[in-house]
Amino acid sequence: MSLECGTIFTREQDLREGLFGGVFLFMLEVLPLLHERGIRPHWRIDTACYGNVVPDVLEPVDPDEAVLPEIPLTSLRDLDRRAMGGDFEGISRLWSSYFRPAPAVLEEADRVDPGLDRALGIHYRGRDKLKASWDTNPIDREDFVSIVVDRIAADPVFDRCLIAGDDQVFIDLARRRIDLPVTVLDAGEGHKSPRSAVRSGARGLMAFRDAILLSRCRSILQTSSALPSFARVLRPEVDCRRCAASKWFGEIPYFPVAYIPPHQPEDPRLRSVVEKAMQDDWSVAAGVESSVWDSAHLPRSAIARPVARRHGWRRFLTRGPRSS
């Protein structure tokens, strides 16, 4: 079947979820189809929580100038959307062949960057993740700071910490306990945060800035969140580890979090904390093929399974976002 596409677009009400595990993921899912067909479209991506993601946060790379039809992103996903695998190098090549950060995002990242090549990046997702037992398992703030301190002690190369996240209590605690120079990014706002004075476009810019800065670190330690996990799409070689489960709550593993390997602390007590938080991780589910980890993308049918439980994400993942 032929496919002509000059511009891919969304309306604000089409994309209501997070930037990295929602908006960017939905765009990634159709890139294999576009690449295979040699299609290089313009993009006009409007979202409910992050404003005009394209062009304010991302810029298309070398779009064709031919005048061709506009197609909704939701229609392309219905036609052919792939599941992402664990080959971050392949995914990164595909992503960067279609998108680059908008200049305003890079300018903001460069302005904040103190030099991160020997830094430990830390991301603690609190708020909704502390109660989302269908998605992950919570880690106490004190325990996670102890895991960070243990990680620093195990690798004396670290000369700085970059702290990001949406939990100001954790950030304050980490600043007191970490015995290294610390760069703190303003506590972020997730898409589920209460209404605030932060403009949606600024929220998207700052979130992508945080992911870019984390990708520049020597290593990243996180609980379970799409934002720090997306750093591996931006820079596949970065050492990124998670300390909490990514549960199989939808039809397919939740990219990019699912493919971030677990951290193993040196301290036996902290190792037990991580093991407890990793309970019910998708990777221990029966029937998971090892080839999934080696694939950049694959047909959804190769890994999809029925959704076992009912919750708000069931409709979102199986049918896509609301269109009206």
CB 238 within 8 A of CB 232: yes
Task: Using the Cα atoms of residue 198, residue 231, residue 146 and residue 183 in order, give the sign of their dihedral.
Answer: negative
Buried b (16+ CB within 10 A) or exposed e, 85-121: bbbbebbbebbeebbebbebbeebbeebeeebeebbb
| Residue 134: C-alpha distances to residues 101, 137, 143 (Å) | 32, 8, 21
| DSSP for residue 22 | I
Domains of the chain by range and CATH?
107-286 (3.40.50)
pLDDT band for 188, please (50, 70, 90 cuts).
low
Reported as a single tens digit per residue, the pLDDT across 281-314 is 998 865 666 778 889 999 998 888 776 543 443 3
**Beta-sheet strands, E only, within the chain:** 7-10, 42-47, 51-52, 58-60, 70-72, 83-84, 99-101, 119-124, 160-165, 182-184, 219-222, 239-242, 297-298
pLDDT at 289 (0 to 100)? 67
Region for residue 121 given its phi and psi (left: phi exceeds 0; alpha: psi -120 to 50; beta: otherwise): beta
Residue 251 has pLDDT above 90, yes or no: no
Q: Would you place residue 178 in the very low, low, confident or very high pLDDT band (cuts 50, 70, 90)?
A: very high
The tokens for 40 are 């290089």
Lowest mean pLDDT among 94-103, 148-157, 160-169: 160-169
Lowest mean per-residue pLDDT among 70-74, 86-90, 107-111, 184-188 = 184-188
Please tell me the predicted confidence (pLDDT) of residue 291: 74
Judge whether residue 196 has pLDDT over 60.
Answer: no
Beta-strand pair 58-60/99-101: antiparallel
CB 159, CB 118: distance < 8 Å: yes
Q: The whole model's pTM is what?
A: 0.89
DSSP H/E element including 103: helix 103-112
Are 210 and 222 in contact, with CB atoms under 8 Å apart? no
**Average pLDDT in the chain:** 88
Query: Do the strands 51-52 and 42-47 form a parallel or antiparallel pair, or are they unpaired?
Result: antiparallel
User: When comparing pLDDT for 17 and 162, which is higher?
Assistant: 162
Please give the average per-residue pLDDT across 131-138, as a whole number. Answer: 82
- Percent of the chain whose predicted confidence (pLDDT) is above 70: 86
Residue 320 has pLDDT above 70, yes or no: no
Residue 91 has pLDDT above 50, yes or no: yes
Residue-wise DSSP of 210-257: HHHHHHTSSEEEESS-HHHHTHHHH-TTSEEEESS-----SSS--TTG
Q: Is 226 within 8 Å of 257 (Cβ atoms)?
A: yes
Whether the pLDDT of residue 321 is over 90: the answer is no
- pLDDT confidence of residue 163: 96
Calculate the CA 155 to chain-centre distance: 26
| 92 SS3 class | helix
Instruction: Decide if pLDDT at 247 tops 60.
Output: yes
Compare 200 and 261 and report the one with higher pLDDT.
261
Cβ atoms of 97 and 61 closer than 8 Å: yes
Mean local confidence (pLDDT), 207-223: 97
Alpha carbon distance 132, 272 (integer Å): 21
Burial label for 316, CB within 10 Å (0-12, 13-18, 19+), is middle
DSSP per residue, 269-314: HHHHHHHHHTTT-GGGSTT--THHHH-SEE-GGGT-----S-SHHH
Range with lowest mean pLDDT among 51-65, 195-209, 271-285: 195-209
Q: Is the CA virtual torsion 189, 193, 198, 204 positive or negative?
A: positive
Residue 102: pLDDT above 50?
Answer: yes
In the predicted model, what is the mean pLDDT of residues 135-154? 96
- In this predicted structure, the answer to whether residue 125 has a pLDDT above a threshold of 90 is no
Phi/psi at 124 (5° precision): -115, 120
Query: Per-residue pLDDT averaged across 12-33, rounded?
Result: 94
